Structure 1
Amino acid sequence: MSDQPSEQAPYSPDDRHLAEIPSVEVISRAAVMLLSAGAERLGLADADPATSPHRDLDEARRLITALAGLVTASAEYLGLHAGPLRDGLQSLQKAFREASAVPDEPGKGPGEKYTGPVY
């Protein structure tokens, strides 16, 4: 064990400090991550979502609800990004409804307390 502090790796030219990243980019990246993770948990990345080893509707519900809250709360700041993110969110909400053995009542599905009912 050395008494010398370990050196941190220098930043590569591609790295940016968080302070340099515009808020809309941070929000958009977080939304895309939630969107992608939700799709994965619905099994949408596999040929047959119903047999996907990654399918977990409870996890999908949480991710979709978090995405709905983020998109709804930040829509005014997202500008042109808001529409595609809303469309992606709505697609996930519909896919969740189709995947559920017992679909939630309209307005009670994942994220619908933020977005309103999705049919």
Structure 2
Amino acid sequence: MTGYQTVNDPQVPDPELDVRELADVPSVEVISRAAVMLMSAAAERLGLADEDPQASPKRDLDEARRLITALAGLVTASAEYLGPHAAPLRDGLQSLQRAFRESSVIPDEPGQGPGEKYTGPVF
């Protein structure tokens, strides 16, 4: 199993192997994976994984705001490096920003929603 010690305990990760493997991953892929993780976590916090998002036990708009803002910063700061990968990440970000606005009892003013200081207003 790649990345694991085989001498002592096969289930204990070998940090040296993990670092080398991560070093082989292109930066665009690392950024994209981080963005997808932030998107997934934000969607969960918005309750979008459940049939009724408003009643979701995972729904936490404060946490969703933080995740969406972090995603906006990452996507905006790395857009020039992402090339064609930037467009779908921006689309996903805007979808989350709209879902947040729709989920809010009192929507933020335009430009004040999660991540909008990086992306501009989302309507």
- TM-score normalised by L of structure 2: 0.85
- Consecutive unaligned residues of structure 2, counting only runs of 5 or more, are 1-6
What is the letter of the counterpart of residue 118 of structure 1? V
Mapped partners of 2:85, 2:38: distance in 1: 15
Match in the other structure for 2:74: 70
5+ unaligned residues in a row in structure 1: which ranges?
A: 1-5
Instruction: Return the structure number with greater relative CO, CA threshold 8 A, min gap 6.
Output: 1
Superposition pairs for residues 26-41 of structure 1, below 5 Å?
26-41=30-45
Give the match for residue 45 of structure 1: 49
- Tell me how far 1:80 sits from its aligned partner: 1.2
User: Displacement, 1:79?
Assistant: 1.1
**What SS does structure 1 have at the residue aligned with 2:51?**
coil
Of residues 22, 26, 36, the one that matches 2:26 is 22
Deviation at 1:53, TM superposition (A): 0.6
1:7 CA drift (Å) = 3.1
Aligned-pair Cα RMSD in Å: 1.7
